[in-house]
């Protein structure tokens, strides 16, 4: 790898001059500029980012902390962040925290040791205090922490109400809810939306609520149990993966979906279109959320004023076969 000194030597100028043409700052003679550029070309010189970072204390790198990339909700989010960050010439360090506060803190330290310019956080485990102590620009994605931090979230509460209401509209009266883990704020908000809508419809019954963990297996088990012990004609699952679990349970009991029991999920991940029947769901604009968080972070890093820092994106009901009754 050629260094700036090699370029300087070849062009017959000082390193300072090379640096000036590289960063387009300061004055430099057109002629010498040309010579320098030639030398750079010739040696295929690429500036050493590490040295640059050490001096400037900015690395053109950001950290992205997600619970678990294997959870099908996150790949698209991660992809969006990467795409946008690339446009602005940032590199992305990916960290899986498994929702563990300890791991998150560790990663934050590691990221800071590398002078990352910013962090996108998808987490619930850290307290507001802990997060605001991070002296690096932070954007919170998908999971609201506090109004003092820029964040991008979808309207979980409304989405849940819409889903519940939709089941009611197609004729369901005993609507169960499989909720996500209680330590995930999203899951709680979805539950709240479900509860409030059910109360408003005069259908609320706490017996109809079952605890899931956002994974298929447990959701299938609780649904199996629910369908066998209670009369249920609709299921609102806290995410699409659990909706698939519910679907499998219904199919195992030879129930017709949607006529015996209608099912709706949440997230609109690609999976929801792959089942049979295809799953109705509440669509979150996953890619947009990631892209928006990335753009917000860039703005924060570059010190631009952020006109609006709390973004709550609208969600949309997607009706598919699993709630299309004859």
Partner DNA sequence: CTGAAAGCGCTAACAA
Partner DNA sequence: TTGTTAGCGCTTTCAG
Name the site residues for DNA (rule: CB under 7 A): 3-5, 12-17, 19-20, 22-23, 25-33, 45, 47-48, 51-52, 54-57
Q: Residue 43 Cβ, how far from DNA at the closest point, in Å?
A: 11
Backbone angles phi, psi at 254, to 5 degrees: 60, 35
Alpha carbon distance 18, 28 (integer Å): 9
Return all residues near 98 (Cβ < 8 A) that are at least 6 apart: 67, 68
Rounded to 5°, angle at Cα 281 from 296 and 206? 105
Measured from the CB atom, the residue of 29 and 91 that comes closer to a copy of itself is 91
Q: 6 or 68: whose CB is closer to a copy of itself?
A: 68
Q: Which is nearer to a copy of itself, 154 or 244 (CB)?
A: 244
| Alpha carbons 223 and 245: distance in angstroms, whole number | 8
Q: Which is nearer to a copy of itself, 176 or 246 (CB)?
A: 246
CA distance 312 to 44: 46
**5 interacts with, out of DNA, a copy of itself, none, CB within 5 to 8 A per kind:** DNA
- Partner interacting with residue 25 (select from DNA, a copy of itself, none; CB below 5-8 Å by kind): DNA
- For the CA atoms of the chain, what is the radius of gyration? 26
Tell me the residue length of the chain. Answer: 326
For residue 73, the minimal CB distance to a copy of itself (Å) is 10
Of 52 and 312, which has the nearer Cβ to a copy of itself?
Answer: 52
**For DNA, the closer CB: 55 or 70:** 55
User: For the chain, first and last CA: distance in Å?
Assistant: 69
Considering CB distances under 5 to 8 angstroms, the limit depending on partner class, which of a copy of itself, DNA, none binds residue 96? a copy of itself
59 binding partner (options a copy of itself, DNA, none; Cβ < 5 to 8 Å by kind) = a copy of itself
Q: How distant, in Å, are the alpha carbons of 86, 102, 117, 288 from that of 79? A: 11, 25, 19, 11
In DSSP terms, 92 is beta-bridged to 62
- Work out how close the CB of 200 gets to DNA at its nearest, in angstroms, rounded to a whole number: 57
**Minimum CB distance to a copy of itself, residue 46 (Å):** 5
Q: Residue 123 Cβ, how far from a copy of itself at the closest point, in Å?
A: 16
Residue whose structure tokens are 């790198």: 61
Say which entry of DNA, a copy of itself, none residue 26 contacts (CB below 5 to 8 A, set by partner kind): DNA
CB of 257 to a copy of itself, least distance (A): 10
The CB-of-102 to a copy of itself minimum distance in angstroms stands at 13
Neighbours of 180 (CB within 10 A): 25
81 token code pair:
């962040």
Q: Which of a copy of itself, DNA, none has residue 128 at its interface (CB below 5 to 8 Å by kind)?
A: none
Between 8 and 149, CB nearer to DNA: 8
Sequence-distant (≥ 6) Cβ neighbours of residue 80 within 8 angstroms: 286, 287, 288, 289, 290, 291, 294
Contacts with a copy of itself, residue ranges (CB under 8 A)? 1, 46-51, 53-54, 59, 61, 68-72, 74-76, 78-79, 82-83, 91-96, 109-110, 112-115, 216, 244, 247-248, 251, 270-271, 273-276
Nearer to DNA, 39 or 227 (CB): 39
Contacted by 27, from DNA, a copy of itself, none: CB < 5 to 8 Å by type: DNA
Please choose which of a copy of itself, DNA, none residue 76 contacts, taking the beta carbon within 5 to 8 angstroms, the exact cut-off set by kind. a copy of itself
């Amino acid at each position: 790898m050629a260094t700036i000194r090699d370029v300087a030597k070849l062009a017959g100028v000082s390193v300072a001059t090379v640096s000036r043409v590289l960063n387009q700052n300061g004055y430099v003679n057109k002629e010498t500029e040309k010579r320098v550029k030639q030398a750079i070309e010739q040696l295929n010189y690429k500036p050493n980012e590490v040295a640059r970072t050490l001096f400037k204390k900015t690395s053109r790198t950001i950290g992205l902390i997600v619970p678990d990339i294997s959870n099908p909700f996150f790949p698209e989010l991660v992809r969006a962040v990467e795409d946008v960050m690339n446009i602005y010439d940032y590199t992305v360090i990916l960290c899986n925290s498994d929702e563990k506060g300890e791991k998150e803190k560790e990663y934050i330290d590691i990221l800071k040791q590398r002078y990352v310019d910013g962090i996108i956080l998808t987490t619930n485990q850290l307290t507001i205090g802990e997060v605001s102590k991070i002296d690096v620009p932070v954007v919170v994605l998908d999971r609201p922490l506090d109004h003092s931090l820029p964040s991008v979230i979808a309207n979980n509460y409304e989405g849940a109400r819409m889903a519940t209401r939709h089941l009611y509209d197609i004729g369901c009266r005993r609507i169960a809810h499989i909720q996500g883990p209680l330590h995930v704020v999203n899951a709680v908000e979805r539950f709240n939306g479900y509860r409030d809508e059910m109360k408003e419809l005069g259908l609320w019954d706490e017996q109809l609520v079952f605890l899931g963990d956002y994974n298929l297996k447990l959701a299938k088990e609780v649904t199996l149990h629910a369908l066998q012990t209670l009369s249920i004609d609709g299921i609102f699952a806290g995410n699409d993966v659990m909706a698939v679990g519910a679907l499998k349970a219904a199919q195992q009991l030879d129930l017709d979906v949607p006529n015996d029991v209608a099912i709706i999920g949440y997230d609109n991940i690609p999976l929801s279109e792959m089942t049979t029947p295809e799953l109705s769901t509440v669509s979150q604009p996953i890619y947009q959320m990631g892209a928006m968080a990335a753009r917000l972070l860039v703005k924060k890093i570059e010190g631009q004023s952020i006109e609006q820092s709390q973004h709550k994106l609208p969600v949309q009901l997607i009706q598919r076969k699993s709630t299309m009754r004859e």
